[in-house]
Amino acid sequence: MSWRIVYVTESEEMKLYLDNLKVVKREQEILIPLSDIHTIVVDNHRTVVTGRLMNKLAEYHILLIFCDETHNPNVFSMGLYSHYRVYGVLRDQMKWNDEIKGEMWKKIIQIKIHNQLSVLRYLKNSDDSIKRLTSYAKDVMFEDRTNREGLAAKIYFNELFGKNFVRQRGAVDVYNSALNYGYMVLRACFARSVVAHGLHPSFGIGHRNQFNAFNLVDDCMESFRPIIDFWVYMIMNDAEYLDRERKQALIGKLHNKVQIGGQKQTVLNAIDLFVQSFIKAMDTKNLNLLTYPENGIAI
Amino acid sequence: MRLLVFFDLPMNTKEEKRIYIKFRKFLIEDGFMMLQFSVYAKIFPNRISLVQYVESLKRNLPKKGSVRAMAITEKQYENMLILVGGKTMQEQTVSDEPMVIL
């Protein structure tokens, strides 16, 4: 069972030594067993990684993220065909019909709005927004045809981060950059889990953008987004910009416990549980099998 | 939780040396770190995974010699007295904390 996150800020070389990750740092060597590692984040552009290590990382399903000059996650690598039954799973995935996809998408959006609600309830107490979100959650239609997701998100973000806040991908203000960072790491974790379970990440259910290689990943992570929003609110509250300590704090929070399927699990485990149950629910066309985070709060 | 493994293996013949090297490499591959010569420790996130692991360790032991194992909690490990020498860099950075910052 993998449970460690390794965050490399300063190192000359990373290589393999007897199924251990060997990190060379100022002529000192540190060994970390690969079987413990879930994710490696490399936040500098001097580290050299050997090909032998890359191969072994794929074997152990370890997610390797490289950050660019602006310290934002930019590349992630994973073994593509690492599942033992890759054809069987893919065949089942191709059989998912539009009926079940639309229903599942509806359910995921409902969960997402409910989780947004739980964040608002925990942090703020604005009856008006809560009432509107509750009614939106109830009104979500097949395939979310009436776009309740977008309407809910607007109210939710304005309530959480202030009236002037506009959610944008390229924006550099404190909250947007932290959200982008958090979502990116979450997306990478989901991509790892989706691929490790043998699914093809491009064939989504709600997202069908022909230019997106990770449609299915974006579908699956929807209900986990409020967890990131909550952390960003807590961490960035009095910050002027997103610095390295806060980034590390954001990543470290992936070990917080979230309520899922009647028990408390780390967010990393919850992601795996979600993907497993998602596959089961889609294959058997029984949406009650889906286990998902019961609220957006992971402390 | 930590599992400590202490071993003494005969090293007289070439064959015995081979078995010793194989066992030592096996321990490192499985995530043990060397505390001292012939004393190795592995970190576990919880007791269940430790108990499961001990079963697989038992299947990979050398036939001759003496091997002992002891499970202790993080707290007990922390309380170990260091009389001469100090903690290695490895020991300081890689603890039971889920996030390792290098």
- Annotated binding-site positions of B for Mg(2+): 8
Give Cα A197 distance to the centre of its chain.
15
Q: How far is A24 from chain B (nearest CA, A)?
A: 10
Identify whether the C-beta of residue B29 lies closer than 8 Å to the C-beta of residue A35: no
pLDDT at B101 over 90: no
CB distance A9–B99 less than 8 Å? no
| Mean pLDDT score of chain B | 89
- Helices and strands, counts by H and E, chain A: 10, 10
**What residues of chain A lie within 8 A of the CB of B30, using their CB?**
19, 33, 35
pLDDT value at position B68?
93
Rounded mean pLDDT for each run of 10 residues along chain A, 299 residues in total: 80 89 87 87 86 88 81 75 78 86 86 86 77 78 80 83 79 82 85 82 83 85 88 80 81 85 86 89 85 80
pLDDT digits (tens, 9 = 90+) for B55-80: 989 998 998 889 999 999 988 988 88
pLDDT at B78: 87
Going by DSSP bridges, is the β-strand pair A20-25/A63-67 parallel, antiparallel, or unpaired?
Answer: unpaired
SS (H, E, C) chain B: CEEEEEEECCCCCHHHHHHHHHHHHHHHHCCCEEEECCEEEEECCCHHHHHHHHHHHHCCCCCCCEEEEEEECHHHHHCCCCCCCCCCHHHHHCCCCCEEEC
pLDDT band at B39 (very low <50, low <70, confident <90, very high): very high
Contact B54, B15 (CB under 8 A): no
In angstroms, the separation between the Cα of residue B64 and the nearest Cα of chain A is: 24
Instruction: List pLDDT tens digits, range A240-264.
Output: 777 788 888 888 888 888 888 888 8
Instruction: Give DSSP secondary structure letters for A87-139.
Output: HHHHHHHHT--HHHHHHHHHHHHHHHHHHHHHHHHHH---HHHHHHHHHHHHH
Contact check, Cβ <8 Å, A252/B98: yes
> Does pTM top 0.80 for this prediction?
no
Task: Give the span between the Cα atoms of B54 and B35, in whole angstroms.
Answer: 19
Q: Do A7 and B45 touch (CB under 8 A)?
A: no
From B45, B90, B102, residue closest to A9, measured CB to CB: B102
